[in-house]
Amino acid sequence: MKIALNNVGRRFNKEWIFRNLSTEFTSGNSYAILGPNGSGKSTLLSVLTGSLTPSEGEISFSDIENVPVENIYKYISLAAPYLELVETFTLKEIIDFHFKFKSFAVGVDAKSLVSILGLEKSSNKEIKYFSSGMKQRTKLALACCSNSPILFLDEPTSNLDVQGINWYLELIEKFTKNRLTIVGSNQIQEYNFCNKQIQISDFK
């Protein structure tokens, strides 16, 4: 997969969040989009996922052939603190629901996903009774264990303690090989594995 940006910019009202961004994101690489809170990392991720249209410039998605932006959702998985889980679903139900739309990564099924989470005793517990850390781990596991060529992670260790951060790093090591992985972050433990970095402040 490849995402190509040609002089892309995005603004809200008259304020430019970023401008003149030309780069390519390609499979097999991991990219960190860096900057302080409020700098535009999540806005850029929203453009890259096709959720926001650029205010200027062009963005293209391609596999063997070009992929229309309206179909890019089929190729991506996303975990972010602002994405909500269905609170009335149990963990088992949220897994079943998610994988109606995505296929499992190779070697993963619903049972092993619960095991990866370490939440076997909570598989029939409703999400609304989960701690913030358990919810974040669930979001990360659903995204990482989906068989999608592009993985987006926005502030992935939000609400995770030290044990949770180590769990996240193990998940990344196991499930990002040969994928295009893009991380929006300002915490080095979240993106230390990335081999390429983009500073959002360079495009103001």
Distance, CA of 102 to CA of 119 (rounded, Å): 21
The helix/strand count (H/E) of the chain reads as: 6, 9
Closest of 155, 9, 3, 27 to residue 79, by C-alpha = 155
Q: Is the pLDDT of residue 128 over 90?
A: yes
Distance, CA of 123 to CA of 82 (rounded, Å): 23
Query: pLDDT by residue (tens digit) across 175-184?
Result: 999 899 999 9
Count of CB atoms situated within 10 Å of the CB of 25: 21
Q: What pLDDT shows up at residue 172?
A: 96
DSSP, collapsed to helix, strand or coil, labels residue 126 as: strand
Q: What pLDDT shows up at residue 173?
A: 95
List the structure tokens of 114: 């619960």
Distance, CA of 41 to CA of 184 (rounded, Å): 6
Distance, CA of 199 to CA of 145 (rounded, Å): 28
Query: pLDDT by residue (tens digit) across 27-63?
Result: 999 999 999 988 999 999 999 999 999 999 999 999 8
Distance, CA of 176 to CA of 171 (rounded, Å): 8
Q: What pLDDT shows up at residue 204?
A: 85
Q: Is the pLDDT of residue 10 over 90?
A: yes
Q: To the nearest whole number, what is the mean pLDDT of the chain?
A: 95
Residue 64's pLDDT band, with cuts at 50, 70 and 90, is confident
Q: What pLDDT shows up at residue 132?
A: 95
Give 159: exposed, middle or buried? Use CB within 10 Å, 0-12, 13-18, 19+. Answer: middle
The one-character DSSP state at 85 is: P
Specify the CATH number for 2-203; select among 3.40.640.10, 3.40.50.620, 3.40.50.2000, 3.40.50.300.
3.40.50.300
Query: Residues 82, 85, 91, 97: is their CA dihedral positive or negative?
Result: negative
Query: pLDDT by residue (tens digit) across 73-97?
Result: 999 999 998 899 999 999 999 999 9
Query: pLDDT by residue (tens digit) across 136-149?
Result: 999 999 999 999 99
Could you tell me which residues come within 8 angstroms of residue 86 by beta carbon, excluding any fewer than 6 positions away? 93, 94, 97, 127
Residue 159's pLDDT band, with cuts at 50, 70 and 90, is very high
